Structure 1
């Protein structure tokens, strides 16, 4: 059973491709991860990454509590395909008092129900499709991640019009409504970008802000 004193702990319920990849990445990053699935073989594979890997034929509130799901800081329910099970398990986790519950959904209707019972919703297939489309449409967009509250992180090549100009000169935040959280230059990443920093050809900017502002900024890459 996962101990309450462990910090940065995550629960993954459902070990399909999405859940398994998520659990592996979190464990590799040094986070405490508890995984649960009905398939014994899938659970055995995850024991290479975490000691807290459990087989559960039923995902009732009582079973999840016995496993220790309520002690996790964040629980991700990765049972998108079985809609009734997804909703019931998510409700059980919410009722156990977990601070943050994230649930995978495969349809808008399913997502709306999950949100109403108190979960944050992710659409892995849709998000991947949108990220791929963005890369295809704007070649200078390296990658992007959608967060909550309509916030997005995007990794883009520095626009030509910005080369040779400083962050202060461009009034970047005021003009675009975005914050630069990192600049990659010559193989190095700088996370403390001074106002005097002058952008160079080949720089990669990591920006964060409202999705509409990110989209507007990416639009100048096409100009």
Structure 2
């Protein structure tokens, strides 16, 4: 299989270590992975702000750049979800067809569903509190959203449990939003910060050493609250844990 590594712009700019860990994981499992150097923002910020017309050229470029790959993998549930769910509608407006939406995956989703990983080589002897991001749960089905009243499952937790030494815990309200929500945090900062404080306190109550999750945007939001309040808990992307030792 030929895989295109899609690195969202904020990961590229702020969390390059997450992109590197993603590449290490994919190559460890023998995947033929390439990083198209001309990739840009997928257009999610523009579309979420109400300017879908501004996102369309980016969607078309993404489509052309990644069309050749069998799979497109990203360490970000929100960006992968945007390409999967919104590109078809955006491009249909212009009489185009998205040739990438059906083959884009969050990295954890790809490891669990496509590669069916059942063993990881690293060790991470720490207690981590898992944050379930809204996009990951409700768009990509990385886990069971509590409002569905279905048998609980978590692909991210299942992968974490393959890493030697990890103790995975979760806050009481396992899928409560952290309050980031992209443009929501800019348009409604007071509500966003209050939600973030509540979510960070929930994770802190587990007495975990780290908060982890599959979306750097949520970790960035909560990390800012942790830093401002000088809390002892640390942030780490789940991919960095899965790639420990590589």
In terms of fraction of residues, the more strand-rich structure is 1
The two structures share one fold, judged by TM-score above 0.5: no
TM-score (norm 1): 0.29
**Bigger Rg, structure 1 or 2:** 1
